[in-house]
Chain A
């Protein structure tokens, strides 16, 4: 009996197969961990420098006679970036207020408002812009590249960026008053 056990060849999963399976598992776990980490990160945080991005504007909208805005060209100005969508009811609450405040600051040339239309359909987006008579530069977030960078959690969300391109304040959800918008813009204008 003992002899037979010794004679039979030792059979099991080959080493290369074991390594391959463990490597596969590790890669899979790594991907899941990366995804979870990204999901828990939340939006970009105040204090972070916003890197350059480009926004192609809707037909009829221009900034300094250009149909595309490059964020890096806005250095030296206070920038207010508002993410919105035509299907978003809370966005409607603040749309008129944002436009009113933009009209106040526009002549000074120190503040730029940018509207970024998040996963929307163009006819409805145009209807929304017409309905609220929005004149500040607006464009669609093509392939959701900009919103993915900002890691927005929904709409509306508004980001206040100082003259050095550093994010200073995030408003998640709609503004309750125009004063709330003015306070944030004034705080950034008064920064040295």
Chain B
């Protein structure tokens, strides 16, 4: 009896050691906070205004982060989780809205305004440079044509 007890104990320990990875794999490894936040930061809290899910302190957001953790544990991909959130709470939860409907404006209007702004600034700079060039060209053209000035200059040269 004294000999069988340690044998049984070590056998149980061995079985536990051998089968524990199998059980762990079937449940999936628990995702770290970083892994959860990597998905959460791509989503916005549907209740609080303009608050990314990874930094939102409310109970609702904590529940959503737990849900992300659960889905990751079940083997869902980032895209699948994001799609689940869109189906449940609408496209407004996405930090980068999809290219459809009014969301197009978000992607189109800023570049258009930026290009227009650059164009206007470029034109303004060109307009500012023009009078300077004209003045430089103007001086040599006007001097030789003025007979009176030419004579004054000649007299001045003679006096020197």
The residues of A with any CB-CB pair to B shorter than 8 Å are: 1, 4, 8, 11-13, 17, 20-21, 24, 27-28, 31, 85-87, 119-121, 123-124, 140, 142-145, 148
Contacts beyond the supplied A4-B138, A11-B123, A121-B63: 18 A-B pairs with Cβ under 8 Å: A4-B134, A11-B126, A13-B120, A24-B112, A86-B63, A87-B58, A87-B59, A87-B60, A87-B63, A119-B46, A119-B47, A120-B63, A140-B88, A142-B88, A143-B86, A143-B91, A144-B46, A145-B90
Q: How many residues of chain B get a CB closer than 8 Å to chain A's CBs?
A: 33
A11 touches B109 (CB 8 A): no
Would you list which residues of chain B between 41 and 90 have a CB under 8 Å from chain A?
A: 46-47, 58-60, 63-64, 66-67, 70, 86-90
5 A-B pairs closest in CB distance: A87-B60, A143-B90, A119-B46, A87-B59, A121-B63
- Taken together as a complex, chains A and B put the C-alpha atoms of A12 and B128 apart, in Å, by 11
Q: Is the interface of B mostly helix, strand, loop or mixed?
A: helix
A-B residue pairs in contact (CB < 8 Å), sample of 28: A1-B138, A1-B142, A4-B138, A8-B130, A11-B123, A11-B126, A11-B127, A11-B130, A13-B119, A13-B123, A17-B119, A20-B116, A27-B105, A27-B109, A85-B60, A86-B63, A87-B58, A87-B59, A87-B60, A119-B88, A121-B67, A143-B87, A143-B88, A143-B90, A144-B46, A144-B92, A145-B90, A148-B90
Contacts of A119 in B (CB 8 A): 46-47, 60, 88-89
Q: Is the interface of A mostly helix, strand, loop or mixed?
A: helix
Contacts of A31 in B (CB 8 A): 102, 105
Contacts of A86 in B (CB 8 A): 63
